Structure 1
Amino acid sequence: MNKIIKYVVLDILRNKILVSYTVLLFAITMTMLFLQDNQTKSLLSLLNIVLIVLPLVSIIFSTIYYYNSIEFIELLVCQPIRRSRILLSIYAGLALSLLIAFGIGVGLPLLIMDHSLTSVLLVLIGALLTIIFSALAILGSVFMRDKARGIGVAILAWFYFSLLYDGLVLFLLFQFSDYPLEKPSIVLGSLNPIDLGRIILLLRLDSSAMMGYTGAVFKSFFGSAGGILLGFGILTLWMVLPLWGAVRRFNHKDL
C-alpha cells in the first residue's frame, strides 16, 4: 500500500499542472497578504479564493487522474492485493499530493506571515476541502465508466456546491419564512462542505454580517466554539462517507 501511495505521489508531483497550481496559489497568497493592511480583510479574501479554487482543482484533477490511471488500476487488481487497499492507496496519493501543493502555496506563506489561530483554521479548512473533494471525485469516477461523463459530473458537483446550493437554500428559506427554520437551517448548512468551511472561519472572526442565516443559526445554537467544533465534526463525515461509498462500489465493480 505504501509503495502505491509513494508511486502516485511522485507521479503527480512531477505533473506540470500541479506545479502551476502551487505557484498560482503561492502568488495569490503573497499578493493578498502584502496588498491588504488589515489582517481580517486578507484572510477573508483568501477564504473566498480557497472556497472556490480548491474544490474545483481537487475534484477535476482527481477525476482526470483516476481515469488516466485506469490501466494501472486494472494491473494492480490482477495482483494479490485487496481492492479496497488499491483504491485507498490511489486516493491517499492523490489527496497527499494536492495537500502538499496547498501547503506550499497557501499554508507556508500564511503561517510564516501570520501566526494567528484564524490562519491555522483557514489552512485546516483548505486541507479538509481538498481531502473532501478528492473523495467526491473518486466516488463519482468509480460510479461512472465514461471519462467525459465522469468529468461532467465532477464539474456539476463543484457548480452545485459552490454556486447553486446557496441559491436553493435562500429560496427554501424565503418560501417557508413563516415557519421556524432554525433546526432545518443547521441541516441545510451541514449538507454543503464549502458552506461549512465558510461558517467555521466566520464564526472565528465573529463576522456576523457575512455569516448568512445558517451561520447565524450555528452561532446562536452552539456559540462560536461549539459551532466550530460541530462544523469540523460534520466535515470529517464529509471525508469518510464518500470514500466509504467509493470503496463499497469499487469492491463489487466489474472492471
Structure 2
Amino acid sequence: MSKAIITLMNIIIVLTPLIGTVFGIMYYYNSKEFTTLLLAQPVKRTTVFIGQYIGLSLSLSMSLVLGLGIPFIAYGLFESGEIWNFGILLVVGAFLTFIFVALAINIALSNDNKIKGFGYAILLWLLMAVVYDGAFLVLQVYFDDYPIDKFSLIATMLNPIDLSRMLILLKLDISALLGYTGAVFQKFFGTSLGMLTSLLVLSFWVILPVLRIIFKSKRKDF
C-alpha cells in the first residue's frame, strides 16, 4: 500500500496543480460574460469571485478525493495501516488544488487577453513543477561546499509542490526518499513539527492568493 501511495504522490504533485491551473483559467475566461452580468446586480464583487473560486476548488478537490478514495476503500484501505498516510496524500492534493486555482484566477484577473493569460498560467505550472527543481538542484551542486541548510528550507517553502512532496515523505518517514532538503527539514523541525510547519506554509499559500483575488476584484474595471 505504501508503494502505491508513493506512486500516487509523484502523479498528484504534478498533475493536480496542472488540472487546477487549467480549469481555473478556463473557467474564468469562459464565464466572463456571465460574471459581468452578475456584477451588474446588487451583489458584492468579493462574493461573486470568492464564490466561484470556492465552488471550483471544492468540486475539483471532491473529484480527487472520491476518485482516489473509492478504489482504495474497495482495495481494503481501512484494514491496512496506511489510512493516515493516504489521508495526508488527499489533504496535500486538496491544498494544491486550492492553491493553483487561486493562482490561475489571479493571472486571469490580471490579463484580459485569453491567450496571454493561458500562456502565463501554463508557464507558472512549468516553473514550479519542472524548472524550479532543476534550478534548485544546480544551486545545491554548485554551492555544495557552503552551509545552505537555511536556504534550502526557505527555497522549499517558496514552492508549494516541493513542500507538498516533503510533507508526504515526512509522514511516510522514508529516509531514503527524503533527499537533502528532507533531511534538513527533519533535522530542524523533526517529523511532527516539520509536518505542522509544512501545513501552515501551505495554508499561507492558499490565503495570500485569495487575498489578492479580493483586492484585484474590487479594483478591476469590467
Would you call these one fold, judging by a TM-score over 0.5? Answer: yes
Once the two structures are superposed, residues 99-158 of structure 1 have per-residue CA deviations (whole angstroms, 9 ceiling, x without a partner) of 121122113333553232101111111111111111111111111111111111111111
| Aligned-CA RMSD value | 1.2
1:103 to 51, 65, 74: 65
**Aligned residue number for residue 51 of structure 2:** 89
1:190 to 146, 149, 157: 157
**Aligned residue number for residue 24 of structure 1:** none
**Aligned residue number for residue 27 of structure 1:** none
Structure-2 separation of matches of 1:161 and 1:169: 11
Structure-2 separation of matches of 1:106 and 1:136: 24
Relative contact order: is structure 1 or structure 2 higher (C-alpha 8 Å, sep ≥ 6)?
A: 2
**Aligned residue number for residue 219 of structure 2:** 252
Structure-2 separation of matches of 1:155 and 1:136: 11
Q: 1:195 to 1:40 in 2, by over 3 A?
A: same
Q: TM-score, normalised by structure 2?
A: 0.94
**Aligned residue number for residue 120 of structure 1:** 87
1:139 to 72, 90, 106: 106
Q: 1:198 to 1:111 in 2, by over 3 A?
A: farther
Q: TM-score, normalised by structure 1?
A: 0.82
Task: Identify which range, 166-175 or 64-73, moves more after superposition.
Answer: 166-175
Structure-2 separation of matches of 1:71 and 1:148: 17
Q: How many residue pairs get matched?
A: 217
Alignment of 1:103-252 (within 5 A): 103-111=65-73, 113-115=76-78, 116-252=83-219
Percent identity (aligned): 41
**Structure 2: where are the runs of 5+ without partners?**
none
Work out whether 1:63 is the aligned partner of 2:25.
yes
Structure-2 separation of matches of 1:110 and 1:152: 36
User: Deviating runs (4+, > 6 A) in structure 1?
Assistant: none
The residue type equivalent to 1:71 in the other structure is E
